[in-house]
Structure 1
């Protein structure tokens, strides 16, 4: 059902753009309904907290009400809205560490119509992403070194434009209210999971939990379906920001790079295994790891155009994946190629690229050595 609905929404959005329509940020009726359900979920959490306090205060001196009240308060505390924190196991770069890179991101943020990021994290994924951390709403941009090192300068601008575009395109799933409510429902579902190898008493409890667990699962599925079209629109809008920032050509090339992500991952693993198994006397593997990204970039440049075309055809035949959070790449690519070609609003030069490379040099070296060590 999810695949069918995802395909229907994706084709409808593509037809809308192809007919000359313009996708605009905003929340449609299903997204507003999902927002209302999220408020109800938070209302249940508040009711548990208030009811628990009332039981403790009103029943003080009686063990039954007090124990029940403390249980409700503890349950509400576990379900409370929580924002993700800054990662402690990733390399973090602040403005003083990479002023040139932050300056580039600031320019792209102006094109996207949003404010810039507060922290940059560097990891070993062939990907990039943004999220909001902490009660102060600090914006974290995560850059995967394997992706960054295989892109040309304008393609990197397109990637940054796409990620910043998520903050200005009305993506329901990235909103605090919805995201925290979805997490609360997931915790409810975890609490109501049936016990494996149950005793007779636990079998009765599993039967009692069946109805509320099914209700929670149904709400999770409903929220997923209600926000599906909004999620896809948000991706297309983020792609349009990528095209405005780095040019249509750069945005399309960036999407093509994603088609061969598996090949890049395989190459990194193969080369890192070679470095680990070098004969003794040829130097430590960590020392040879400094050339890992050059090997990856050379491999990506060697991929012929017909392989990209094959991947696009495979994606078109496969359609929408059930557990995929993005529309198919071939539809995103088609939306970018509809209409006039967009020139780049942000450009870079050799001097800026060299300064950014120098700021990321230590991070790229550390990530390469982590991969080789198998961390």
Structure 2
């Protein structure tokens, strides 16, 4: 999602108009039908991603072939061996550094032994959603949540931002878990498979080619010319990244709508709408961290964040909703505007299939209490880093 900033040029404005029409079309499709038929652009993305991975594999094979020639296999002469070695070394180094990475999920592990009731709730919600795979959990200090895949076995990992968790009412927590688990059921073109692998390779390629900013600032004329050549070479993978994301953008945003609607079926549309509404106020976490640091009135910053959400004047809620209603997205944006998501959820009212009582929610809070101090410190450190310079 990008803020409502005026595009800089005529081409930017024209491209943004296309994105605006696409976002509105997708919103109206889901408001009219919970499972609309979407264009097949994602199939083109998978074909392009497969070609990118084949190209990466071909470069690796070429490097290996040159290495074998450099080692004297094939009866090549001494000069050809040196030439092959000079070609093999940078090529194999490049393909190694730019190789696809095993997916990793960062966060504080939350094993079942330390939070049995929360794990039980996740399993119950998973059954209601239709997800039976075991799901690991990690905690983060953010006002956010995510579903990721970890390790060579692509183990599902649910990441819960403790700030967001404490800022939600009980039924909204059910909606949060249901939404993230729904991504395992519905799929997302960039969460796994060939597109994610290709994006991984392209991002690594750009990181290899793009000059280090510190070294670039100190470079002389020869180094600046070399850096300019490297930046030119990086334009191709950068362009492919934007092309891939543009092709799967509608599918990514559709995945969010599907997850919203499935979460509304499990937790109730009112709870899901409440969750989206509270996400409008995620920025208040910074205010809570600041206040807790200078004028603490509650046990921790997460409790302060929840107090702010619970006592925010209606006029301020309305103002922020209006601001978010003007937010615009790019064609490669992974999430639709929150206002559009609210409109779709409210178009399909649902009663909850699974409820979480305030008493059970309090027991879950008690389970997570031992993690509060460390994650509050991490959130404060990150906030100070962002605001210090």
Cα distance between partner residues in 1 of 2:288 and 2:309: 9
Which residue number corresponds to residue 35 of structure 2?
Answer: 23
| CA distance in structure 2 between the partners assigned to 1:170 and 1:369 by the alignment | 34
Query: Aligned partners of 2:131, 2:148: CA distance in 1, in Å?
Result: 14
Distance apart, 1:250 and its partner CA: 0.2
Normalising by structure 1, we get a TM-score of 0.86
The answer to whether structure 1 residue 45 and structure 2 residue 53 are counterparts is no
Q: CA 1:108 to 1:370, structure 2 compared with 1: closer, same or farther past 3 Å?
A: same
2:261–2:345 Cα contact (<8 Å) kept: yes
Residues 1-375 of structure 1: pairs in structure 2 closer than 5 A: 1=12, 3-18=16-31, 20-23=32-35, 28-61=39-72, 62-87=81-106, 90-116=107-133, 118-193=135-210, 199-202=220-223, 204-206=225-227, 208-209=229-230, 212-275=233-296, 290-320=299-329, 325-339=334-348, 341-350=349-358, 352-371=360-379
Alpha-carbon distance in 2 for matches of 1:351, 1:298: 18
Q: 1:63 to 1:197 in 2, by over 3 A?
A: same
Q: 1:190 to 1:183 in 2, by over 3 A?
A: same
Question: Structure 1 regions of 5+ residues with no counterpart?
Answer: 276-287
Q: What is the SS of the residue equivalent to 1:342?
A: coil
| Counterpart contact for 1:290–1:365, Cα < 8 Å | no
Q: 1:282 is matched with which residue?
A: none
Task: Give 2:78's aligned residue.
Answer: none
Alpha-carbon RMSD across the aligned residues, in angstroms, is 2.7
CA distance in 2, matches of 1:208, 1:369: 43
In the aligned structure 2, how far is the partner of 1:323 from the partner of 1:29? 15
SS of the aligned residue for 2:146 comes to: strand
Deviates more, 1:166-175 or 1:342-351: 342-351
- 1:272-298 Cα distance to aligned partner (Å, 9 max, x none): 2335xxxxxxxxxxxx97444333322
Number of aligned residue pairs: give it: 358
CA distance in 2, matches of 1:200, 1:314: 47
CA contact (8 A) 1:118 1:140 kept: yes
Provide structure 2 residue ranges, at least 5 long, that are not aligned to the other structure. Answer: 1-11, 73-80
